Structure 1
Amino acid sequence: MTSPQPSPREEHPENPFLRPSQDGRSMRSLTADSKNSSRSMLPLLYTQGLLEPRRNGYSISLLMTSLYSTLCSALFFIVALVQPKYGHVVSARGRFSPSSAALLTAFIAKTVELSFVMVFLAFLGQVLSRRAIQQKGLNLASVEMRSWILQPGRLFSQWHSVRVAGFSFLGVLSLVTAVLSLLYTTAAGALVQPQLRLPPWEKQMMAGQVDGDFSSTLKADKTCLTAWPDVGDDQWGGSTCLAMKWSSLCGRNFVKYMSAWDDAAADSSPPWMSEDLLERKRISASLDNNVTVTTAWLDHHDVAAESEKAGRIINNITIAVPHRGIPAAARNTKNDLLQPEDLHDGGSYSIHASVASFAINALCVNAKEEELAPIIYKNWPNAIPMEEGSKSVNWWPILGFPEGTNTNNKTVLDDIFGWKDETEDHSRARPIFLKYPKAGNTIANHTQVPYETGDRPEVYLLGKAPDNTTSDYFLCSMKAGITTSCTTRYNASSGGQDLEAVCDDENGKHTEDAAIQPLRSDGDRAALVGWRELGFNLLNSLSLNNGVFDGDASTARIFTQLQLTEPKLNKTLPSPAEALLSMTTCTVLDLTQNFPFQPFWDTTAGEFDQPQMQYFNASVRVAQYMSGGEKDYQKALLVVLALTLLINIFILIYFAVLLRIRLVTDLCEPLVLFILGYHSPPSEGFFRSATHLNILEVN
C-alpha cells in the first residue's frame, strides 16, 4: 500500500507570482492556448521574466537619464550657491539675450524635473518589486506612493495611504520627492535663472586716456578750438572761444545755483538753508550737458570764528571738483564695463575712483576804503591817468607798471592773504587795482601779465555792494590746486548720470559708504599757476572786470548784492565765496580734458603727440545678469536644489553600483499590477480578506 504523496503546498510554499490562473490551467497551457487560438482573451504573463534581472536598452537609457538629471541638478545647485555674474555673456550684444537665457534655464529646469520624477519612479518600482518577490507579497499602500508623485493632490484626497506608508523610509522619500517635483522649477527660476541685479562693490584697476600733466591740460584755449570752427583767427581765436563758452557755461552754473535759493525754497525752510557750511547746498554744475556734477566742501572754516580772529568778516570756502575723466574712462573699452544700453537701457553702474581732484578756493574779506588804499593804483602819487575806457581796459596794467615799478606797499591784509614784497617772494606779490569800484561793480586784478615762472596762482576781484548797503568793500581771491583727500564717484544709468566728489568729514574720516580710500599723497592742494590764466579769462567773459570803466554789469550787480554784512553766513542767500565757486567750477570741468588721474605722474614730457593710458584704483558696481536669489527668503529654496541633487546621486549609485543596470519588471506599473491581481485567487495574495479589512493593509 503506497503512502499518500505530500501535496505541493506541503513540500514548498507557493509563490503567488508563479501560481496558475484561476481556471486551473498552468501558464504553459495558457501560453499554448493563446498561441493556438486568437479568440483567447486571457492575458499572458511570463513569470520567469519577473525574477530575472536584465540589462537591456531600457535599463541603459534609464541610467543615462539618471546621469543627466544628476549632472544638471548638480550644475544648478553649484550655480545657485556660487551666484556667478554673466557680464557680457547675457546682454543685448552677448552670446545670450536676457530672454534667451531665461528660456534656456526654464527648459533645463523642466527636463531635470521630468527626468528626476522618471528615475525616482523607476527606483521606487525596483525596490518594491524586489521586496515583493522576496516577501511573496506587496503592500498596496506602497503602490500608492507612485500616485503621490504623479498626482500630488492624492496626498490630501487619499490621506489614508499616507498614514499607512508615509512613515517608512520609502514613504518619507516619496513625500520629499513629491514636494521637490512641485518646487524644483520654482527654485531654479528664483536661484538659477539670470536676473538683473547690482552686485557688491569690487576692486578694479581702471584705465583712462591722459594728454599731459595738470599744467599742460589747463591750456584750455587749445581744447576749446578743437570744437570750434576755423575762422582764421590764429592770435585771438582761442581766447575768443573761451570767452563765448565761459559766458554760457559758467554763467549758466551761476544762474542755476542762484535759482536754488529762490523765495519758494526759503518759505519751506529746507535744512540746507543753514549757517553751517557743511549743511548748506553744495555747488553743482553740468558736464557735457548730460552729467550732473556735485562738488564737496573740502574745508570747514567757521565764519564767526575766523572773523573774530581777524577783526573783519572772513568768508573762506574750498570745494573739491570731481575728476571729469571718470565718465570717459567708464566707457573706455579697456575697462570692459557693461553700459546701460547693453542691457536694453536697464543697466546701471557706479564707480568710486581713487584719483586726484581739482580743489578751488575762494577767500573773500571785507575791508575799509583806507585799508585798500596801498593797492589802489589811482592813489599812487605817480599814477598815470586812464580816464578813457579803452585805456583802462586794454592798456591797464601795462601803462601803469613801467619798468622798475613794484607792489611793495604793505597793507593790513597781508597776513590774511599771505602777501609779501616782490623782492622776498614774487609769487606772493600784492595785487594792484586800477581804482575803487563804484557800488554794484567789480574790478579784477590783471597785474603780472604775461605770466612767468614763480608768479602767484591767484586771481583777485574787488567789489562793493550796491545801494549803500555797507561802506565796506570786499576783496576776493580765487585759486585752484590739486587735492588727494577726496575720491570721485560716478553713477550712470538710462535715467541719467551724476558725478560727485566725496571727501573726508570734519573728523578727518572718509564717509562710511565709501568703497575706496583717497590717494593721500604729499603736496596736497598745490596751487596751479597755470589756472590763473583761466581765471583771468573767466572774469572778463562774465563782465566782472567792467568796473574799470563803471560798466554796471548785471552779473557784477547780482554778485555784489551777496556781500556779507555780518560775521555769519546768510541763511537765505549764498555768500560771495560760494557764488564765485559756482562760476569757476566750469574752468576745471568743461574746458579741461584728459588731465591725469594721479597727482604726480612720472613723465619727462608735459604733453604728448598721442593720448596715453594711465591707471588708477577704483571700486565698481555694475548691474548685470547673475544667478542667486535677490531676496534673503529666496535662499531657502536652495534646500530644494540640494535635496534634489542628493536624491539623484543616491538613485544613480543604486542603479549603477548596486543593481549594475540589471532591472526586474516593475510590478508597480498599472498594467503589470492588474495582471498580477487577475491571476491571484480570491482567497490568497492581493485580495485576501478584502471584505472585512482595509485593502491598503493587506498583502
Structure 2
Amino acid sequence: MAVEQDENPFLRPSQDGRSASILGGSTNSSSSMLPLVYTQGLLKPQRNAYSISLLVTSLYSTLCSALFFVVALLQPKYGHVISSRGRFSPSSAALLTAFIAKTIELSFVMVFLAFIGQVLSRRAIQQKGISLASVAMRSWILQPGTLFSQWYSVRFAGLSVLGVLSLVTAILSLLYTTAAGALVQPQLRLPPWEQQKLAGEVQSDFSNALKANQTCLTEWPDVGDTQWGGSTCLAVKWSSLCGRNFVGYMSKWDDGAARTNPNPSWMSDRLEDRLPIFAALNDNITVTTSWLGQYDVKSESEKAGRIINNVTIAVPHRGVPAAARNTQNNLLQPEDLHDSGSYTIQASVASFALNVLCVNAKKEELAPIVYETWPNAVVMKNTSMAVNFWPIQAFTDGTNANNQTELDGVFGWKNETEDHSRARPVFLKFPKAGNTLANHTSIFDDRAEAYLLGKAPDDTTQDYFLCSMKAGITTSCTTRYNASSGGQSLEAICDQQDDHKHDDDHEDNQSTAPSPSSTDAPAVSGWRAMAFDLLNSMSLNNGVFDGDASTARILTQLQLTEPALNKTLPSPAEALLSIMTCTVLDLTQDFPFQVSGNESGNETDVGLERNQLQHFDASIRVAQYMSGGEKQYQKAFLVVLALTLLINLFILGYLAIVLRVRLITDLCEPLVLFILGYHSFPGKGLFEGLPQEGPQKSDLKEQWIVKRVGGQLVVVGRGEADEGLGMEGGGRERFGMGMRRKRGVMGEERE
C-alpha cells in the first residue's frame, strides 16, 4: 500500500490559486487544514467589508457614548415624554436605555479588541516583539476574572501604555451598564426649583354678599324663595363648612396629646409656635394658614392697660390649585405618572389676611356703645322685638355713634363726622354669661369690621370681651400648593416662619410682611356683610335674645383671664379665625392673583363679566422622569462615561486617520494564533514550559515576533537569526520534522 505523503497544511493552495505546496498537494487533506493566513509577503493591510463594518461600529459606540455622557451631564427632564400620555411609558424608557447601554458596552469591547489586535500584530510583523502577557490583555477584557486568576500576566504587561489602557477598558466594560443605569436611565425625581409664569382664570375682585348669594343658589335647588333663598343657602352652607373647621381645630387641642407627649411644641405661649389655623377646601385639600405679624400678649397688654389678644393670619389663595390644572400651564399631574407623581408650586400671589382683635373690658367701659344703657332707649320686651326691630331702633332720627369710650385708642374709633369708616359699633345689650351677640348696626358701607361682644360663663371673670373681625389683602406671603397621589395641601408661607421649615424654598419667594394694621394690607369692606351672615349662621348672635348657643358658650369659655396665651387652649381670637377662614376659602374662587393689575396693566379691582386669564410668577418643582444621579455619590459614575467616550474617540481616530480603515489579519485572535503556532518552528529556549503545564512566569515576558519563512508566517523568538530558521525546501522540511518530533515527545511524556 502506498504511503500517503505528509502535507504542510499552511501551504495549501489559496482560493485564488496564487500559491502551491512545495511538497505537493494531497487530495485527502481536510478542510480544517486550510491556512488562515496567506502571505506571498508579509501581511498586507486591506480595506474590506470587515474593516468598514468595524469603523461603523466604532462610530456608533462613539456617538452613543457621547450622547449618554451629555445626558448624564445635563440631566434633562422628560416631562410628558415619559408619562401615561407620552411617547414612552416608564418601563419602556428603562428598557430602551438598558438596551442602548448594552450595545455601547458590546461595541466598545469589540472595537477595543480590534485595536489591541492591530497594535500587537503590527508590532509582531515589524520585528518589535510582543509577549504572551501582551496577548493576555484580550482575556482581561473578555474575562475580567483573569485579572485575579492570572494576576502574574498583569505584573508583566500592566505597566505598559497598552496595558494600562486595557486595564481601564476592562473596568469600564464592567461598570458601563451600571453607570448608564445610575446616570442616564430616567428616574422619577424632584428637580430643583425653577421659575415659571403660570396662568389662572379670574373674574371678580371680592365676592360680596349679593354674589355670594347667587353663587350659593347655583348649587341649591330652586324652592321659589327669591327674597331669602340666597342668604338661607349661605347660612346652611357656612354652618356646615365653618362649623366643621371650628370643631376640627378645637379637637387638635386635645389633652390626650399632652399626656402622650408631656411637652408638645405647640403647647406654647408664643404665637408662632402654636397650632396653626387650618381648614379644608373642597373636602380634599388641607389648608394651613400662617401667622402674620408677631404680637406678644403680655407686652401689648401692658401697653394698653388691659388684656389684648391680637392675631392675624394669612390664608393661601384658593385659586392656585385650579391654576395648577389649567391646561395652558401644561403641568405634569400625579395621574400622568400612574399616581406616582407630585409637584409643588410656590406662587407669588395675593393672600387674604384675617385679623381678630379681642380686648377685655369692664361693663362701665362698654356702656357708651350698648344701646340699653342709653337715655330714652326702647326696651325690647320680648324676643320678637329684639330680632325684628333691632338694630333699626338704634339709629332713629337724631341718634349717632359718637359716644366716646376708653377703647377708642385700641380699636381706632372716631366720630362719624371725622371718619365714618371708623365709626363705633353699637350693641343691643350686654350679653349674659356664656352668650355672645354681634353688632349689626353699621349704616356705612365702607366700615370693614364686624364686632362680637361676649362674656365668660360661670362667673369666671367680671370682664366682657369685645372682638373686631376684618379681612384684608396682603402681598407679604406666598401660597404653596402640594399635590400628589397621597393628598393635596395648600398653605401660606410668610417670612416670619423659621427658615429651616422651608429649606427648599427659592430665595426669591422671601418677602417682608407688614404689621396687620399697616395700610399695605388694607381691609376689605365687602367682607363685613358676609361676616354678619357668618355670625348668624354660627348662632353667635343669639345673645340678643339670650339664646345660650353652644358655639357661643365654647367661645366664651376661651376668654383670657391673664395677659398670656393659654398653653392648653386656643384664645378667642384664634377660635374666631378658625371660623372665619371658610368665608374667604369659599368665596374667593375667581379672585385675581395680583391686586394691582393684570398682565395688561388693567386694574383688577372691578368685577369682570366673564373669566379671563391672569398670569403670576411662581416657583415650581414637578416630579418627573429625568436623567442624572439622585444621590451625590452616583456622580462618580460620570468618570466611567467620560473615559469610555475618550477611548472611543481615540480608537475611532486610530482606525479612520492612522490606519485609514486598512487592517491586517489580527494575529492575536485565538484561532489565528493557534494555527500560527501549530505551523511554527519549535524555537530553542523561547518558552520553557511544556504545553500541558501552561505558560510559566518567565514565558510571559519573552518577546517573540512573526517572520516569513519560505512564504509562510511563523512565530520565532525576537533574538533568533533568520538563518537559523531554514530556507526554502529543506528549511520547511526540517520545520515539519521538528514539529513532528515535538509532538512525539509530548506523546511519550503522556504515556
State how 1:218-367 maps to structure 2 within 5 Å: 219-267=211-259, 268-367=262-361
Query: d(CA) in 1 for partners of 2:349 and 2:70?
Result: 38
* AA aligned opposite 2:435: N
Contact 1:503 1:510 in 2 (8 A): no
* Pairing partner for 2:479 from 488, 500, 504: 488
State how 1:546-695 maps to structure 2 within 5 Å: 546-601=542-597, 602-603=602-603, 606-683=606-683, 694-695=698-699
Deviations 1:152-189 (A, max 9, x none): 11111111211111111111111111111110000000
Contact 2:11 2:21 in 1 (8 A): no
Return 424-433 or 590-599, whichever deviates more.
Answer: 590-599
Instruction: Determine if the alignment matches structure 1 residue 504 to structure 2 residue 495.
Output: yes
Query: Is the alpha carbon distance of 1:165 and 1:269 closer, same or farther for their aligned partners in structure 2, counting shifts above 3 Å?
Result: closer
Deviations 1:565-612 (A, max 9, x none): 111111111111111111101111123211011122233772222211
* AA aligned opposite 1:411: T
Query: Is the alpha carbon distance of 1:584 and 1:676 closer, same or farther for their aligned partners in structure 2, counting shifts above 3 Å?
Result: same
Deviations 1:619-672 (A, max 9, x none): 111111111111111111111101100110000001111111111111111111
Query: d(CA) in 2 for partners of 1:182 and 1:608?
Result: 66
State how 1:413-424 maps to structure 2 within 5 Å: 413-424=407-418
Return 514-523 or 139-148, whichever deviates more.
Answer: 514-523
Query: d(CA) in 2 for partners of 1:193 and 1:25?
Result: 53
Query: d(CA) in 1 for partners of 2:23 and 2:442?
Result: 125
Contact 1:191 1:627 in 2 (8 A): yes
Instruction: Determine if the alignment matches structure 1 residue 465 to structure 2 residue 469.
Output: no
Alignment-derived partner of residue 179 in structure 1: 171
Contact 1:90 1:101 in 2 (8 A): yes
State how 1:537-548 maps to structure 2 within 5 Å: 537-548=533-544
Query: d(CA) in 1 for partners of 2:26 and 2:52?
Result: 31
Query: Is the alpha carbon distance of 1:92 and 1:270 closer, same or farther for their aligned partners in structure 2, counting shifts above 3 Å?
Result: same
Deviations 1:481-517 (A, max 9, x none): 0111111111111111111111122899997654233
* Pairing partner for 2:59 from 43, 67, 74: 67
Query: d(CA) in 1 for partners of 2:179 and 2:256?
Result: 53
Alignment length, in residue pairs? 677
Alignment-derived partner of residue 214 in structure 1: 206
Contact 1:217 1:592 in 2 (8 A): no
* Pairing partner for 2:469 from 454, 474, 478: 478
* Pairing partner for 1:131 from 123, 127, 132: 123
Query: d(CA) in 2 for partners of 1:40 and 1:444?
Result: 112
- Specify every segment of 5 or more residues in structure 1 that has no aligned partner in the other structure, as ranges: 1-19
Q: CA deviation at 1:230?
A: 2.5
Query: d(CA) in 1 for partners of 2:118 and 2:677?
Result: 19
Contact 1:203 1:617 in 2 (8 A): yes
Query: d(CA) in 1 for partners of 2:499 and 2:298?
Result: 22
Q: CA deviation at 1:48?
A: 3.4
Contact 1:680 1:686 in 2 (8 A): no
Contact 2:12 2:25 in 1 (8 A): no
Deviations 1:369-418 (A, max 9, x none): 11111111111222222222122123211233223321111111111111
Query: Is the alpha carbon distance of 1:42 and 1:376 closer, same or farther for their aligned partners in structure 2, counting shifts above 3 Å?
Result: closer
Deviations 1:540-559 (A, max 9, x none): 00000001011000000111
Contact 1:218 1:530 in 2 (8 A): no
* AA aligned opposite 2:97: T
RMSD: 2.6
Return 135-144 or 618-627, whichever deviates more.
Answer: 135-144
- Specify every segment of 5 or more residues in structure 2 that has no aligned partner in the other structure, as ranges: 1-6, 705-751
Query: d(CA) in 2 for partners of 1:510 and 1:529?
Result: 34
**SS across alignment from 1:526:** coil
Contact 2:186 2:625 in 1 (8 A): yes
* AA aligned opposite 2:484: S
Alignment-derived partner of residue 711 in structure 2: none
Query: Is the alpha carbon distance of 1:447 and 1:35 closer, same or farther for their aligned partners in structure 2, counting shifts above 3 Å?
Result: farther
Query: d(CA) in 1 for partners of 2:10 and 2:472?
Result: 110
**SS across alignment from 1:212:** coil
Return 34-43 or 272-281, whichever deviates more.
Answer: 34-43
Deviations 1:187-240 (A, max 9, x none): 000000001111111111111110122366994222222322232322222211
Q: CA deviation at 1:42?
A: 4.0
* AA aligned opposite 1:591: L
Q: CA deviation at 1:533?
A: 1.0
Query: d(CA) in 1 for partners of 2:239 and 2:9?
Result: 110
Instruction: Determine if the alignment matches structure 1 residue 142 to structure 2 residue 134.
Output: yes
Query: Is the alpha carbon distance of 1:680 and 1:394 closer, same or farther for their aligned partners in structure 2, counting shifts above 3 Å?
Result: same
* AA aligned opposite 2:622: V
**SS across alignment from 1:108:** helix
Query: d(CA) in 2 for partners of 1:505 and 1:564?
Result: 25
**SS across alignment from 2:167:** helix
**SS across alignment from 1:51:** coil
Query: d(CA) in 2 for partners of 1:338 and 1:127?
Result: 53
Return 400-409 or 581-590, whichever deviates more.
Answer: 400-409
* AA aligned opposite 2:450: V
Query: Is the alpha carbon distance of 1:34 and 1:204 closer, same or farther for their aligned partners in structure 2, counting shifts above 3 Å?
Result: farther
Alignment-derived partner of residue 11 in structure 1: none
Return 111-120 or 154-163, whichever deviates more.
Answer: 154-163
Contact 2:352 2:584 in 1 (8 A): yes
Alignment-derived partner of residue 713 in structure 2: none
* AA aligned opposite 1:323: H
Query: d(CA) in 2 for partners of 1:308 and 1:23?
Result: 113
Alignment-derived partner of residue 164 in structure 1: 156
**SS across alignment from 1:608:** coil
Query: d(CA) in 2 for partners of 1:50 and 1:102?
Result: 49
Query: d(CA) in 1 for partners of 2:318 and 2:141?
Result: 62
**SS across alignment from 1:600:** coil
* AA aligned opposite 2:223: V
Contact 1:355 1:518 in 2 (8 A): no
Query: Is the alpha carbon distance of 1:619 and 1:608 closer, same or farther for their aligned partners in structure 2, counting shifts above 3 Å?
Result: same
Q: CA deviation at 1:258?
A: 0.9
Query: Is the alpha carbon distance of 1:456 and 1:25 closer, same or farther for their aligned partners in structure 2, counting shifts above 3 Å?
Result: closer
Identity within the alignment, %:
71
Alignment-derived partner of residue 10 in structure 1: none
Query: Is the alpha carbon distance of 1:50 and 1:122 closer, same or farther for their aligned partners in structure 2, counting shifts above 3 Å?
Result: farther
Query: d(CA) in 1 for partners of 2:453 and 2:288?
Result: 28
Contact 2:291 2:494 in 1 (8 A): yes
Contact 2:69 2:641 in 1 (8 A): yes
Instruction: Determine if the alignment matches structure 1 residue 395 to structure 2 residue 395.
Output: no
Return 680-689 or 239-248, whichever deviates more.
Answer: 680-689
Instruction: Determine if the alignment matches structure 1 residue 696 to structure 2 residue 704.
Output: no
* AA aligned opposite 1:564: L
Contact 1:484 1:518 in 2 (8 A): no
